[in-house]
Chains A and B, each alone.
Chain A
Amino acid sequence: SQELEQSPQSLIVQEGKNLTINCTSSKTLYGLYWYKQKYGEGLIFLMMLQKGGEEKSHEKITAKLDEKKQQSSLHITASQPSHAGIYLCGAGLSLIQGAQKLVFGQGTRLTINP
């Protein structure tokens, strides 16, 4: 079965600083999804990566998938309090009838100090 490991598990940064969260897969990734979750709330979709070497950005968040498609990183530039939350990476795994399920890492809890 596919497993995702995120690092670090917890991260505290000063507002305005840059940070990186990593996601490593035990198998090749065919679809890698990044979500953000605030405690007690649902998951908010951030970005999806499929191709080796792919990089996507949205506002101050950049996600990359390595050439071998086994590792992804999420980079936040000039962090703000609104970036605080739990970041989850998920891998899409095929099920029957063309469906897929998401297998998630344990999450990285990000705290931004003013």
Chain B
Amino acid sequence: DGGITQSPKYLFRKEGQNVTLSCEQNLNHDAMYWYRQDPGQGLRLIYYSQIVNDFQKGDIAEGYSVSREKKESFPLTVTSAQKNPTAFYLCASSIGSHKQETQYFGPGTRLLVL
């Protein structure tokens, strides 16, 4: 079955700690995205990547970092510089060859601060 997996489902972060959220897809999609979802604010784009070894900042990239070493994987690191990391994080992917194309989402990771 093709799809997008995210792990872990829940993640707890201590003060000053960096944590990494995993996102893997086996859809053979070129483009991958990270969104953050907060109650009452909808989804906001953190980072996106159109091809391997290349990625761009989205609307709220401060305090986050990503890598794209493999087509299938797009991990997101929430650094200690992110002062309000508690949120639901969603990874998505799309074919990457058209301007208007559907993005498919993973099941999400909920990050909580201890």
Binding site for B on A (CB under 8 A): 30-31, 33, 35, 40-45, 48, 50, 88, 90, 92, 94-107
Contacting pair B104 A101 (CB below 8 A): no
Give chain B nearest CB distance to A56 CB in angstroms.
12
Return the CB mask of B1-24 against A: 1 if under 8 Å, else 0: 000101000000000000000000
Binding site for A on B (CB under 8 A): 4, 6, 31, 33, 35, 40, 42-43, 45, 48, 50, 56, 58-59, 88, 90, 92, 94, 96, 98-108, 110
Besides the contacts A40-B88, A42-B90, what 14 more A-B pairs have beta carbons closer than 8 Å? A35-B105, A40-B110, A42-B6, A45-B103, A48-B102, A92-B100, A98-B50, A100-B94, A100-B99, A101-B33, A101-B59, A104-B43, A106-B40, A107-B42
Nearest neighbor of B10 in chain A, beta-carbon distance: A40
Q: Within the assembled complex, what's the spacing in Å between the Cα atoms of A31 and B103?
A: 12
Q: Within the assembled complex, what's the spacing in Å between the Cα atoms of A103 and B110?
A: 21
B58 / chain A contacts, CB cutoff of 8 Å? 101
Contacting pair B45 A41 (CB below 8 A): no
Contacting pair A42 B110 (CB below 8 A): no
Give chain B nearest CB distance to A36 CB in angstroms.
11
A94-B105 CB under 8 A given contacts A99-B50, A102-B43: no
